[in-house]
Amino acid sequence: MLLAIDTSTEWIGIGLSDEHQVVFDHIWRTDNHHTVGLVPAIKYFMHNSGVSMSDLDALAAAIGPGSFTSLRIGLSVIKGLSFALNLPVVGVPSLDILAHGQPLLDLPMIALLHAGRGRLAYQRYAVEGGKWTDMTEISVNDPKELAATIDSPVYVCGEMTEQERQIIGRKWKTVKLAPPSACVRQPAVLCELARQKLQNGETDDVNLLSPIYLHTASAIPEV
C-alpha cells in the first residue's frame, strides 16, 4: 500500500492505493489548519479502510510549489513515517499532479495553483507520448499578468477564485477553462505518479527531500 499526502495549498489531499486499486482518495479545504487536521484524518481513513501502518510499503508527498509552511507540514509527516516504518519516499511536483489528472487534449495546457498575495504559480504542458509533459519552468504572476501572456489557444486548469476565472476567461477566444471539478489536485493521481516512479526505481533521499521553492522576487510566501 502507498500512502500519499498533498498539503501544497489550503486544499489538503490524502490517498491510499495499491498496484491495482485506490483504497481511498479524500480532499478538503482548510483555513491553514494543516497541523491540526492532517494526522487525525490519516488515522481516520486508514482505520475505516481496515488498513494499518504495517500494511504500507511506500510513501509519497506533493513537493510544491505552494505554501512553504503547508508543504513542510506534509513533508514532516511523511518523513516521520518513513523513519518510523523504514519506508521509501517519493516526491512529486504539485503541478504535475494537477496536469496528469486532466483529459488528453490537442490544446496545450496551463496548470496553476495559488501562490499567495493574489499571485498564481503556473506551468505550461503539452501532450507528448500519450501524457502531459511540462514544457516550461514554473512562473509566478498575478491573474492579469498571466492572462496577458496567453496569445494562442490553451486549456487552463487549477485553483481559481470566481474573480480569477473571470479575468483569465475573458480571453474566451483563446482560453478554455477547466470545470471546477477538474481544478483540484487528486490524491489518487499523486498515488499513481508515485507508483510509476517506484516501479522505475526512482525514490528520494528522505533526508534531502524538500519543497520546491521559487527563488525569485515574487517567490511563493508563507501563509
Cα–Cα dist 98/96, whole Å: 5
pLDDT digits (tens, 9 = 90+) for 50-93: 999 999 999 999 999 998 889 999 999 999 999 999 999 999 99
Q: What CATH class does 95-182 carry?
A: alpha beta
- Compute the distance between CA of residue 61 and CA of residue 64 in angstroms, rounded to an integer: 9
Residue 46 CB partners (closer than 8 Å, separation 6+)? 3, 16, 52, 53
Per DSSP, the three-state class of 177 is strand
Going through the chain in order, the beta strands assigned E by DSSP cover: 2-6, 11-17, 22-29, 58-62, 89-92, 109-116, 119-128, 131-134, 139-141, 154-158, 175-177
**For residue range 96-125, what is the model confidence (pLDDT) as tens digits?**
999 999 999 999 999 999 988 889 999 999
Asked whether the beta carbons of 15 and 22 are under 8 A apart, the reply is yes
User: Are the C-beta atoms of residues 91 and 72 closer than 8 Å to each other?
Assistant: no
* Cell matching residue 132: 502531459
Model confidence at 221: pLDDT above 70: no
Domain 2-93+186-199 homologous superfamily, CATH: ATPase, nucleotide binding domain (3.30.420.40)
What's the predicted TM-score (pTM) here? Answer: 0.93
Rounded CA-CA distance 15/21 in Å is: 11
Cell of 61: 508527498
- What residue type is 135 in one-letter code? M
Instruction: Decide the pairing of beta strands 109-116 and 154-158.
Output: parallel
In terms of Cα–Cα distance, which of 100, 122, 13, 105 is closest to 62? 13
Question: Which amino acid would we find at residue 56?
Answer: L
Q: What's the confidence (pLDDT) of residue 223?
A: 43
Domain span(s) for CATH 3.30.420.40 in the chain: 2-93+186-199, 95-182
C-alpha cell at 19: 498496484
Q: Cell 488515522: give the residue.
A: 43
* pLDDT for res 192: 98
* pLDDT for residue 215: 53
Has residue 213 got a pLDDT over 90?
A: no
Q: What is the pLDDT of residues 29-43, one digit of tens each?
A: 987 778 888 999 999
In the sheet that holds 11-17, the strands lie side by side as: 22-29, 11-17, 2-6, 58-62, 89-92
pLDDT value at 219 more than 50: no
Mean pLDDT of 130-148: 96
| Residue whose C-alpha cell is 489528472 | 101
pLDDT tens per residue, range 153-211: 999 999 999 999 999 999 888 999 999 999 999 999 999 999 999 999 999 999 999 99
